[in-house]
Structure 1
Amino acid sequence: MCRFLEVPCVSNHSPNACTVASRQRLASFRTNCPVSPERYPRFSAAGAGVACRSGTCLSRASNHARAPRSTGRESNMATHDDMNFDALATALEQQRWAAMLKNDATALSALISDAAVYAHSSGFIDDKVSYLDKFRNGIFHYHNAQSEFDKVIPLGSDAFAACGKVKIEATTGGIRKDLDCFFTVVWRKENDAWKLVVHQTLLRPST
């Protein structure tokens, strides 16, 4: 089965930049990871990397869990003690990337714990305040991202860790970068709301 992350197509690319890599890859993808046509009715078969549906990029994720079905209650997922952690991790990452790609520090702040530690692939470390300031001051600007989970690990009922891979197009400090990273996140429930406590990215070795 397959899990997806949905992130808005907020980028400097044309809509065609948000499409599936090739017809051959799409045929294999549909064979190995069947997707409901009602869920993704406009899955394109040409382009480079991911697909767009109604302004939303659909990036392929690992073959461990099916994409959570949209119920119109995604914003309330954090209040359900019986929530499937794969679906919860996906929903929270959707919200986080939506805020980052829109450069919305206010929305991002609501998802981050006051105790958060954010370790960048550059080796620099931010707390919540310094991290959000970099968005507000224009130091960070994210253009596009393709993210996938490799594993989601429940830590009791009120926390979980997750790890995976992400490809990012971003401008940091005025320098445009294409980053290919591993990432690890830890989320925990604080006052009935899920908050990001730890985020670490690590550049993948070139081969």
Structure 2
Amino acid sequence: MKDQIKKLEKQRFNHLINKEYEQFAAMCDPDLRYVHSSGAIDNLSSYMEKLNSGYYDYQEMDLDIAKVIDMQDCVLVIGDFYAKVLVDGQLVTLQNRALSIWKKYSDHLKFLMYQGTPFND
């Protein structure tokens, strides 16, 4: 499962960096909940609006996966998330403890939730 998750997370990041937003949206569960390190919360619709308007412009993204927990109906991904992103034109460097949740369907996974909490070195 960990290899599959690594591939999906890399694909998610590549879609965001390359502004392939429709492909990113196709990876997401309709009930997506994205909790930013600022505390702001987006659902799929509001997150897509911000991506398409250029409010979020991802430059670099990486996830150092510490643990993958395979549960009955979802997969929890715990790790350290690093990114450089333009937020409304301002460069922000992120270092977060992160939790991603991927919802299981019969033959695939969909990105359901992300929550990042900033940490200091």
TM range (shorter): over 0.9
The match for 1:161 is: 76
Q: How does 1:69-84 map to 2 (within 5 A)?
A: none
Q: What displacement does 1:191 show?
A: 5.4
Q: Quick check: which one's strand share is greater?
A: 2
3-state DSSP of counterpart to 2:39? coil
Q: Are positions 1:139 and 2:55 aligned together?
A: yes
- Separation in 2, partners of 1:183, 1:113: 18
Runs of 4+ in 1 over 2 A off after TM superposition: 189-193
Q: What displacement does 1:192 show?
A: 2.9
Q: 2:7 aligns with which of 91, 111, 124?
A: 91
The match for 1:40 is: none
Q: What displacement does 1:87 show?
A: 0.8
Q: What displacement does 1:189 show?
A: 2.3
TM value normalised by structure 1: 0.56
- Separation in 1, partners of 2:38, 2:79: 18
Q: Alignment RMSD, CA only?
A: 1.3
Deviations 1:39-85 (A, max 9, x none): xxxxxxxxxxxxxxxxxxxxxxxxxxxxxxxxxxxxxxxxxxxxxx1
TM value normalised by structure 2: 0.94
Q: What displacement does 1:108 show?
A: 0.5
Percent of residue pairs identical: 24
- Separation in 2, partners of 1:97, 1:128: 16
Q: Are positions 1:122 and 2:42 aligned together?
A: no
Question: Which structure carries more relative contact order (alpha carbon 8 Å, separation 6+)?
Answer: 2
Q: Are positions 1:183 and 2:98 aligned together?
A: yes
- Separation in 2, partners of 1:118, 1:177: 17
Q: 1:200 aligns with which of 100, 115, 121?
A: 115
- Separation in 1, partners of 2:103, 2:55: 27
Q: What displacement does 1:103 show?
A: 1.5
- Separation in 2, partners of 1:110, 1:146: 20
- Separation in 1, partners of 2:50, 2:4: 27
Structure 1 unmatched ranges of 5 or more: 1-84
Structure 2 unmatched ranges of 5 or more: none
Q: Please tell me the residue identity of whatever aligns with 1:109.
A: A
Deviations 1:97-125 (A, max 9, x none): 11011121101001110011110000000
- Separation in 1, partners of 2:60, 2:113: 22
Provide the aligned length of Structure 1 versus Structure 2.
121
The match for 1:111 is: 27
